[in-house]
Structure formats: C-alpha cells, structure tokens
Structure 1
Amino acid sequence: MFSFPRIDNEGKHVNMVSVYSLKGNSWSSIQGFDSGHVNGNVGVFANGFFHWEGCYDYVSGGVSSEIVTLDLAKERYGRIALPSYEGGGIHWTLGESRGRLVACCNYESNKADMWVMKEYGVEKTWTKLVTISSPDDGRVNISPLFVAENGDEVLVKLGTEVTLYNSRNASFKRIADYVSTDDFLQVQVATYLESLASPHI
C-alpha cells in the first residue's frame, strides 16, 4: 500500500492511497482525504487501522495537526487528535507497541516527548511516558519502536541508530546502526511469542 499526493486540474493537492489486492490481483485507489497533506513515510498499522502524520499547509512547512487513519475494510478515513505539546518547531513520529499507538513529539531544542494512547480512539487517554533528550549535538528525530511493559525502557530510532533508552537513569545503549542514502528508510519492530503449542491444533 502506498500513499501519494497528486495535483488536480485546479492546482490543489489530492491525497490518495493505492491498495493492491492479492485476491483480485489488482490496484484500487481510496480517495476522500481532503485535509492538508498525509505523510506516507511514517505509516503505522495498529488496531486494524493505518495511521499517518497529517499536516496542514504542507507546502509552506506547516505544523503537524492530527493523525490521519484509514480503515481498509470500510475504505474510510478518520482523524485522531495529537497530544498537547509545547510551542516551537516540532515534528511528529508514530509507532506501535504492544497493540497501542505511540506518538513522539520532536522539538527543535533536541528533545522529544513520547506519548502512548492507552485506550485506542479515546483522545483523553494520551499519556506522556517520558521526555528524552538526544545525546547528539546535531538535531535528529526520535522515532518510537517499542515500549517495555513498565515503560522504563524504550526502543527508539535515533538518527541512523536503533537505541535502547532507559528512563530510570536517562542512558542510551546502541543496539544497531545502519547506513542508507534513502531518505524514506523506515525501521519498524514486530513482536511475537514463542510457544510449544501448534497453532494448527
């Protein structure tokens, strides 16, 4: 599935999502989102919906204002409000951890607030987990990958590194790093439970 903007005959940006069906061996387009720009680079699947950062006035460098959702079964867009944040230049990154939607607000001051939505779709349940100060001198965006059950440890993408952040002592432990010239490279984490029981029984 890909999200992409196009320009219509009136010079307006139109956001669409193209979906490939394995059953039908064909592509189809879902239109209908007409509020700002959808950043398809940070799409996250959680609770049966796809989620993207939504921006207003994208061409003029507008500020993120909401999370755009897409229900593939109903082919319907929706919106979720982002948590409250401080003023100044910001950039949101999204993630999913243990079935919950996670949002990270990156500030120009080289810090980030990480939030988790404890009850999906209920905006008042956004809860701030931790404020992370980047160890680097240069500004890098922090993206959430996984949050431990007690919230003390958070796996994040920090620039070109995958890093474990410990909120108890504000320490970073590099897990892996990667080199890429692709600006759209995205890192995501999948979890699974090992079991001796066969799922086919």
Structure 2
Amino acid sequence: MLIKQSDIVINNYLVGFHAFRKDHNFLSFKGDLINDISEYFDNLIFDQFDVGNLTILNSPAKSDKFEIKLAANQLIYQENTSFENIVNNSKNILVLWRKYSKFVNLRLAGIIYNFKINIDPLKTKKPFENLLIFFNNFSFGEKLFSLGFNTRYSTIVNKHHYTINVSLNQNNINEPIQGTMDFHIVNEKIEQGIIDKEIDNVFSDSNFYFKNNFLNILNGK
C-alpha cells in the first residue's frame, strides 16, 4: 500500500533558532520581548514558566501545542498551524528578538515536523513489520546512526547540506503511525549578512524534502 501525501497529517511544527554566544543582557530585555511577542499574537495571554535559564510561554487558550521557549542564546517556537504561518511567525518573532539583541545573531538550527500517517492497517502483517522493513532497508543519504525505529542521516537538498533525524512509532497495528522528521542544517562558517538567506533555505528545502523525497522514502522508492 503506497502512502499518499494526503495520508500524512501534520500534528505540529517546531522551529529552533540558536547561537553559540549568549546575550548577557537577556534578563534586562526579556520582559519587553515577551510583551512584544504577546502583542504580535493579538495580545495573547501567556502562562509563563521559568526553568533554570529557560523561559517557557504556553497558551492553552490558543492551542495545546503552542509554546515558545526563550533563553540568552536560543528561541524555540512550536504550534499546530499551517507551514506558512509557522514560517511567518518564526521570522517575525526573530525580528522582535533582534530589536533587543544587537550583537547575538540567532541562526535557524532546524525545523521539526511532527506527523501521523493515516493508512489502513494491514491485517496480514505483524505489528511494526512495516516500520522494521523501512529502517532495515533504509538507503537514502549517508546513514549516521540507527537504533530501533530511529535513524539519522546526512543528505543534500538544493546544494545545501543537512542532517535529518527520522523517528517512527506505532502503539499497535490499529493506530496511525506517529513520526517526526528533524531537519537540521549542517553548520558552516557563513557571513553574517546572509543569515536571513540561510533561514529561507532551511524552510524551503525542508518543505520540499518533506513533500517529495521523504514521501518517496516512506514508500521505499
């Protein structure tokens, strides 16, 4: 049974920006940054939690998948919305960060696709047999690591180098397969002025890969 694009349902996306250098002024502007983010989302009220150096913003009123994590050198945003909204919101939140952090340039580390595959169970198959076949026969890109239903490999998309982590699981044969595709850019030394271009590349390359190459991989092509 071939998996079609319509069989794959996105549960949510997660976007992560990161810098090796920390902004030591983060605590002084964190409150203003959170207020600006709230205003951007139409004055959304956040539940705020501080865990160590990490500040977590949730909003059950908006979505149980909505979450923003802030730290002195990272910005993480997730939501169950359209890909276009994820891209636009991520970029706009990054603009707000740059408003206060003048010297720490966050780069887009990667994007995670959390999804499920809605296909009819194959009654003649043993539970997990399809998943085992997929991972045992995996031959796309350079496999870097594989354990159970998890694998990590490197590949090139539109002349850009990426590391991809794929994880699939299925509680029983009568339930949809749940999965994640973690799409990470391979860090290279780049000029500061093209960081925004790199961000656009990661978004567009990951979307292209997920809709084309990844679907072929799931079908063993």
Q: TM-score, normalised by structure 2?
A: 0.26
Q: Which has the higher helix share?
A: 2
Q: Which has the higher strand share?
A: 1
Answer 1 or 2: higher relative contact order, Cα 8 Å, separation at least 6: 2
Q: TM-score, normalised by structure 1?
A: 0.28
